[in-house]
Amino acid sequence: MAKDTKAIDDAAPGRGTVIICEDEAMVAMDLEFIFQDLGFEVIGTYPSVKSAMKAIEHGNVPDLALLDVRLTDGNVFPVADALAEHDVHMIFHSGHAGLEEVSKDYPDALCCPKPTTERKIEATIAELGIKERLPDPL
Amino acid sequence: MNIENEQSDGKSARAAEVDASRLCIVGIGASAGGLEAIGDMLAMADPDSNLAYVVIQHLDPDHESLLAEILSRKTRLEVHQASGGETVERGRVYIIPPGHKMTIRDAKLELTEFAQPRGLRRPIDDFFESLAEDQGHYAACVILSGTGADGSAGLRAIKEFGGVCIVQSPETARYDGMPKAAQGTGLVDFVRSPEEIFSALQGYYTHMIMTETDTELQEAVRDNIDEICDVLSTTSGHDFSEYKRTTLVRRIERRIKVLNLQDADSYLERVKDDPEEAEVLFRELLINVTRFFRDPDQFERLREKVIAPMISEKDHEPIRIWVPGCSSGEEAYTLAIMIADEMRKQKKSLDVNIFATDIDDQMLKNARTGIYPLSAMVDVPEELRDSYTIARDGHFQIPARIRDMIRFSIHNVTRDPPFSSCDLISCRNLLIYFGDKLQNATLPTFQYALRPKGYLFLGSSETIGRFDNLFTAVDDRARIFQRTQRSVDYPSHLRSQQSGRKEPIGASVPVSRGRSRSSLMPDRVADRILNTYAPSTIHCAKDGEILSSSGSLGKYLKATPGRMDDQYVQSLALQGLREPLSGILRDTLTPGRRRVIRGLESRGEFGSQKFDLIVDPLADSTLILVFIERAKFEPIEDEDIEDYEPSESHVQSLEEELRNTQSRLYTTVEELETANEELKSSNEEMMSMNEELQSANEELSTVNDELSSKVEQLTQANADLSNFFASTDLPLVVVDTKKCIRTYTEAILDIYPFQGADEGRPLSEITSSLRENSSVLDNVTEVMESGEVKQLQVRERSSDGSRIWSLLITPYRTNDDQVDGATLVFTDLTESTNLRDALDVEAERLKLALKVSELGVWEFDADRQVIDLDETARRHLDAQMADGGSVELSELMSRLSKSEKDEIQDVFASSRKEDGPFEFTFSLADRTGAMRTLQAVGRHVETGGSTKLLGVVFDVTKANEATQIRELMLREMNHRVKNLFSIITGMLRVVGRQAESVPEMVRGMEDRISALARSHDLTQKKMGEEAILLQDVIDVALEPYCDAADCRIEGPDVSVSNAELTSLALLLHEWATNTSKYGVLGPVDGRLEVTWSQGNDGTVTLEWNEIYENEFEVRDERAGFGATLVRIAAAQLNGSVDVNQTSHDRRTILEYGKGHEGD
């Protein structure tokens, strides 16, 4: 399995690391491909809060996280909280209504409603990138 | 009448300006036939005039009067039966109640019991007299139809006080007794038919009020009064000019009003031209009220202080009494009766001469007869009535022995010479009419007329004025005065009037009928001379009755002890005198021519006397016999026996016989008189009986009038009732105590087929259409016995039997509350019974509906703030009931949250103003603590004035839960669909990356979507039953590629959760596709074995083994997208995939599930 992942990692240029929290296998795979296409290194795909939290605890902290709200074992918010502590950029990706509310709790996070497109994700990342770049010129 | 009244009249005349609309009270007196007359009279009366009416009708005291009721239909005035104490108000009619005497004081009616027995009552007089005293000249009296003379005396009082009197014209009266008696007084102002009476009254009062305020008229009368008096003086011979002016003016004024003249001048003309009017005015001026025993207390004092001592003192001298101004004689008769009674008490017989004088010859004529209306009898004290009155038809008379005591004569006290030597002068209520001058002249006249120590008896308001030197008061209060001893002169004013006037009737007129025994010479000297020195003399009447004598007569007359009244000279004369006497007495003698008979000799028992007899006839046809002795008395010697003288004895025997005859005659006359007396007394009894009968008759005729009115009303009521019976559709039958039919309505014929002749037949004989016929009859009996109302339901016996009746049996009560039968009233209940049944069914349905739908009913009473709940509602609300299924609103509210409470209160409050239904939902914790959601629907109802909210309540907990679940499901579905879109999008992109051509991509998509769909089918098939098994998932994944026979698919039952299903399906699909593309299910020979097992920790290990038949080289193509998919799917399953490729086989192992640790 590591071999498989490596193959993708190799293909990706080093734009940053990303984790994906998604309980739907096909969607997770799709997202993985998209991020790889966008030049990110996918350092983990987690179907559950438990597995994601474990990874973060183990220091697997990415630059960016794409979070489906509902995971197999509950809402993704503990993960989001943990990531927020590490100032990780977050994009919520959910079919649930009320993403606006989510963005209230996490003002810095952005949203991509399901089903999303590659362009949308790209635009959202770009938006995050602008935010990120603001302090850079100084 | 008294002086005070006169003065106050003067005042009231001046004050009359403010009294222009003063209340005037009209007394109406009526008896038999009066009802009709009163009705006719009052029909014309105007309620707005200032008149009030008091009706005095003779009524049966034992019979309630309907008079007020009857009259109130005839007049616009308010009619009341008086109950005593009410103040008389204008525009009203007051009726005397039966059995009471009514009087008026200060315009207030007073009721008292009658003091007199029936038949002697005179309520009209009583009322009129009190009315006259109370209202003066504002009083009027009307006398209507009736028998007898009640009202005539009252009328006199009304007139005396200046009121007006109207009498129904006798020809219009059903009974003309009372009107005629009233007219007989000569004092009536108007005689009118009942219809005209009101306008006469109205006219009189209008005129009166007009002239009341017009002092000019009074002045004019004053100016003319002397002329009027002159006229009167010439026509009547009496001078009124010195009479009291106020009285004169007032009475003349009244005549002017009655005649409706404009001023005093025209009246003067009238009096001059019309002697009749002069006569009327003369009478009018003489009106005064007198009655028997007027002021009884004063008369009692008089009896005590004057009459009783006078009688006891007198022995033989006659009593002389003068009653000047006696009018109709009551006062004189009163004195006569008192004296007669006092003599009876003292057992004395004295001569009594009462001179009763007046200037009104009309009155004197009446007085002489001694006949008075029966109504006046009450004034005579009861103990005196039997002895001193004789009842006649409607009247009574004073008996002759009393009448004989009184001489009535015309005499003017102011002008004519007075009587003399009177013991008592009774002059009551005469001086008050005199002016000062006349009074001052009259009192000395009285003094002259009285003997020394004689008494003067005056009216209660009269005094002796300044003449206290002539009289001393014996009893000031009773107005009894005594003449002083002071010598008197003949009144000077009379001396000058002696000549040139009409022949006065004075003391020279025969004073006595001659029973007086006074001596011829009043002087003692004369007595002595007469008795001792003068010849013996006898003064005798024409018939020989000895009136007086002087000298010794023993020689001529014989003394006969015994009967004192047999004092006839011819009876007493001795032999020798008797014969010439008889001749003399028989002769007609010329007065003044004396005769002498000489040589007579009287022979007595003791001797004989020779004498001459002088006969001197006097002008009054009495005789004086003077005996002059001619020789000495010769005594008879014993032996001188008288010879028989046949001639003398013959005369003597004849005389003896005559005397015997006379004596027999006397006895016979006595007997006759006794018989006559008896007849008289029985006649009196008859008369009084007649009087009673008459009054009973009057009462009866009043009752009859009332009854006929009542009958009229009854006829009307009866007609109303029979119309009701004819028109009503209420089935009704009335039965009597024997249950015989009395009355019935047409509508009853449906039930009881009555026929014309059935009235009076027993109800039991009629065949009714009722099934319960006998029970109906039993119930009727019961009702009549118990007197209580009964209600029962009965059915018709008819074939369809559909009619149901409610039968109400009530006892038939007579006016005196006796049960006299029963009334049966039927009410058709058929319709209402059917309706009730239908309602019952409907109610049952509703109940069922409520029960099935678990609807609870509640009712909120806004006034009491209480909610009534039914069983279901109680269960829903889990309410603790206080009593009778109601619960306080506040108690329920306390269990609600604030917002719910507010909402409900708001709804309750606002619903009052609207009409539409409202609803609200609320939550309550039940006993177990579980929350229940309840919904209530209600609306605002107003019944019988109270406000109510009525509605239902039902449990919506489950419905709510279902809704929530549905919403949850929808959200889930939405999520899933979106997920699906994501999956498909992802799948598309993933497949797109992999596919080299569009058809390939399409195929890839098809396969995967189909696989997903198939696995989804699994979830649908297995829904709700049992868990999806791993085997099923595998079967579904392999289904497109192989027959199950070619594969070994083995393992225990492992259930697959929904979360696992998609990933598992994707994963298995990848494997199946791979196997069919590149493996044993496709180009490579071999077989597939799929096995699985589950560990204790739940970890599932699934092996996918491709077993090659031939050696097979390892392929790399298998990496790439498929591998990524599998890896990710495995990750989703919280599992891992391990591939073990050899040349013989390819083992792919998936471990997933709880116990498994992913990477």
- What domains can you pick out in chain A, each with its CATH number? 2-133 (3.40.50.2300)
Are A109 and A92 within 8 A, CB to CB? yes
Question: Buried b vs exposed e over A34-66: b needs ≥16 C-beta within 10 Å?
Answer: bbbebebbbbbbbbbbbbbeebbeeeebbbbbb
Residue B263 lies in a domain: no
Residue B824 lies in a domain: no
Task: Pick the residue of A27, A34, A120 with the most B CBs within 10 A to test the interface with B by mutation.
Answer: A27
Same domain for B393 and B444, yes or no, is: yes
Supply the pLDDT for residue A7. Answer: 39
Q: Identify all chain B residues contacting A29, using CB atoms and an 8 Å cutoff.
A: 986, 990, 1121, 1124-1125, 1128
The number of residues making up chain A comes to 138
Instruction: Name residue B1012's amino acid.
Output: L
Judged by a CB distance cut-off of 8 A, whether residue A11 touches chain B is no
CB contact under 8 A, B989 and A5: no
CATH number for position B1092: 3.30.565.10
Among B986, B1059, B1132, select the one facing A30 at the smallest CB separation.
B986
Same domain for B318 and B417, yes or no, is: yes
Report how far residue B434's alpha carbon sits from residue B414's, in angstroms, rounded to the nearest whole number: 10
CB contact under 8 A, B1127 and A1: yes
Judged by a CB distance cut-off of 8 A, whether residue A114 touches chain B is yes
CB contact under 8 A, A114 and B982: yes
Give the domain range for residue B586. 524-640
Tokens describing residue B194: 């009942």
Other Cβ atoms less than 10 A from the Cβ of B651: the count is: 15
Supply the pLDDT for residue B1077. Answer: 79
Judged by a CB distance cut-off of 8 A, whether residue A55 touches chain B is no
- The stretches in chain B having pLDDT less than 70 are 1-21, 118-120, 207-216, 289, 393-394, 487-524, 559-566, 588-589, 637-649, 798-802, 879-885, 912-915, 1021-1026, 1043-1046, 1113-1121, 1154-1159
Torsional sign, CA B557, B559, B563, B565: positive
Supply the pLDDT for residue B15. Answer: 41
Judged by a CB distance cut-off of 8 A, whether residue A112 touches chain B is no
Same domain for B147 and B66, yes or no, is: yes
Same domain for B351 and B446, yes or no, is: yes
Task: Pick the residue of A9, A30, A33, A70 with the most B CBs within 10 A to test the interface with B by mutation.
Answer: A30
Measure in Å the smallest separation between the Cα of B900 and chain A Cα atoms: 29
At B263, is the secondary structure helix, strand, or coil?
coil
Same domain for B716 and B732, yes or no, is: no
Supply the pLDDT for residue B647. Answer: 58
Alpha helices, DSSP H, located in B1046-1108: 1058-1078
At residue B774, φ and ψ (nearest 5 deg) are -70, -35
Tokens describing residue B428: 């009551």
Measure in Å the smallest separation between the Cα of A24 and chain B Cα atoms: 7
B934, containing H or E segment: strand B931-943
Among A34, A48, A95, select the one facing B982 at the smallest CB separation.
A95
Supply the pLDDT for residue B497. Answer: 47
Q: Identify all chain A residues contacting B1158, using CB atoms and an 8 Å cutoff.
A: 51
CB contact under 8 A, A30 and B987: yes
CB contact under 8 A, A27 and B975: no
Measure in Å the smallest separation between the Cα of A133 and chain B Cα atoms: 30
Judged by a CB distance cut-off of 8 A, whether residue A17 touches chain B is no
Are B123 and B702 within 8 A, CB to CB? no
Same domain for B143 and B52, yes or no, is: yes
Burial bucket for residue B330 (CB in 10 Å: 0-12, 13-18, 19+): buried
Q: Where are the beta strands (DSSP E) in B1004-1099?
A: 1028-1029, 1047-1050, 1055-1056, 1086-1094
Same domain for B165 and B32, yes or no, is: yes
Residue B10 lies in a domain: no
Q: What is the DSSP string of B718-757?
A: HHHHHHHHHH--S-EEEE-TT-BEEEE-GGGGGTS---GG
Which residue in A has a C-alpha nearest to residue B1065's C-alpha? A25
> Any idea which residue has 């009296």 for tokens?
B141
Among B974, B982, B993, select the one facing A27 at the smallest CB separation.
B982
Q: Identify all chain B residues contacting A46, using CB atoms and an 8 Å cutoff.
A: 1131
Q: Which of B153, B143, B157, B108 is CA-nearest to residue B34?
A: B143
CATH number for position B622: 3.30.450.20
Measure in Å the smallest separation between the Cα of A115 and chain B Cα atoms: 4
At residue A81, does pLDDT exceed 50?
Answer: yes
CATH number for position B111: 3.40.50.180
Tokens describing residue B697: 């008759």
CB contact under 8 A, A33 and B1063: no
Residue B219 lies in a domain: no
Among B989, B1131, B1159, select the one facing A47 at the smallest CB separation.
B1131
Same domain for B618 and B748, yes or no, is: no
Torsional sign, CA A16, A21, A26, A27: negative
Supply the pLDDT for residue B840. Answer: 93
Instruction: Name residue A20's amino acid.
Output: I
Task: Pick the residue of B967, B1127, B1141 with the most A CBs within 10 A to test the interface with A by mutation.
Answer: B1127
Q: Identify all chain B residues contacting A111, using CB atoms and an 8 Å cutoff.
A: none
Are B118 and B92 within 8 A, CB to CB? no
Q: Which of A99, A96, A38, A88 is CA-nearest to residue A66?
A: A88
Same domain for B712 and B733, yes or no, is: no
Residue B690 lies in a domain: yes
At B603, is the secondary structure helix, strand, or coil?
strand
B contact set with A (CB within 8 A): 974-975, 977-979, 981-987, 989-990, 993, 1059, 1062-1063, 1066-1067, 1119, 1121, 1123-1125, 1127-1129, 1131-1134, 1136-1137, 1158-1159
Judged by a CB distance cut-off of 8 A, whether residue A120 touches chain B is no
Query: In whole angstroms, how far apart are CA B1049 and each of B400, B509, B642, B1090, B1142?
Result: 171, 186, 217, 5, 21
Residue B519 lies in a domain: no
Domain boundary among B703, B720, B737: B720
Q: Where are the beta strands (DSSP E) in B136-294?
A: 139-143, 164-168, 190-192
Measure in Å the smallest separation between the Cα of B1059 and chain A Cα atoms: 7
- Number of domains within chain B: 6
**Phi-psi label, residue B293: left if phi above 0, alpha if psi -120 to 50, beta otherwise:** left
CB contact under 8 A, B1137 and A1: yes
Judged by a CB distance cut-off of 8 A, whether residue A27 touches chain B is yes
Supply the pLDDT for residue A132. Answer: 42
CB contact under 8 A, B1125 and A29: yes
Among A1, A24, A70, select the one facing B982 at the smallest CB separation.
A24
CATH number for position B340: 3.40.50.150
Are B736 and B742 within 8 A, CB to CB? yes
Are B470 and B41 within 8 A, CB to CB? no
Same domain for B355 and B440, yes or no, is: yes
Burial bucket for residue B493 (CB in 10 Å: 0-12, 13-18, 19+): middle
- Whether the bond between A115 and the residue before it is cis, its omega within 30 degrees of 0, is yes
| Higher-pLDDT residue of A5, B186 | B186
CB contact under 8 A, B1123 and A4: yes
Measure in Å the smallest separation between the Cα of B975 and chain A Cα atoms: 6
Chain A to chain B Cβ contacts (< 8 Å) = 101
Domain boundary among B605, B640, B675: B640
CA atoms within 13 A on the CB side of B482: 13
Q: Which of B304, B359, B284 is CA-nearest to residue B327?
A: B359
Judged by a CB distance cut-off of 8 A, whether residue A32 touches chain B is yes
Supply the pLDDT for residue B1007. Answer: 82
Q: What is the set of active-site residues of B?
A: 31, 58, 150
Are B1152 and B1133 within 8 A, CB to CB? yes
Supply the pLDDT for residue B842. Answer: 92
CB contact under 8 A, B1128 and A29: yes
Same domain for B450 and B563, yes or no, is: no
At residue A2, does pLDDT exceed 60?
Answer: no
At B1144, is the secondary structure helix, strand, or coil?
coil
Domain boundary among B940, B955, B970: B955
Task: Pick the residue of B1124, B1126, B1157 with the most A CBs within 10 A to test the interface with A by mutation.
Answer: B1124
At B624, is the secondary structure helix, strand, or coil?
strand
Residue B1031 lies in a domain: yes
Same domain for B882 and B934, yes or no, is: yes
Instruction: Name residue A63's amino acid.
Output: D
Measure in Å the smallest separation between the Cα of B1124 and chain A Cα atoms: 7
Measure in Å the smallest separation between the Cα of A87 and chain B Cα atoms: 25
Residue B994 lies in a domain: no
CB contact under 8 A, A24 and B1132: yes
Q: Where are the beta strands (DSSP E) in B206-347?
A: 319-324
Task: Pick the residue of A29, A46, A60, A67 with the most B CBs within 10 A to test the interface with B by mutation.
Answer: A29
Among B1124, B1127, B1134, select the one facing A48 at the smallest CB separation.
B1134
Q: Identify all chain B residues contacting A115, using CB atoms and an 8 Å cutoff.
A: 978, 981-982, 984-986
Supply the pLDDT for residue B4. Answer: 38
| ipTM for the predicted complex | 0.79
At residue A107, does pLDDT exceed 90?
Answer: no
Supply the pLDDT for residue B716. Answer: 92
Q: Identify all chain A residues contacting B989, using CB atoms and an 8 Å cutoff.
A: 30, 33-34, 118
Burial bucket for residue B41 (CB in 10 Å: 0-12, 13-18, 19+): buried
CA atoms within 13 A on the CB side of B853: 13
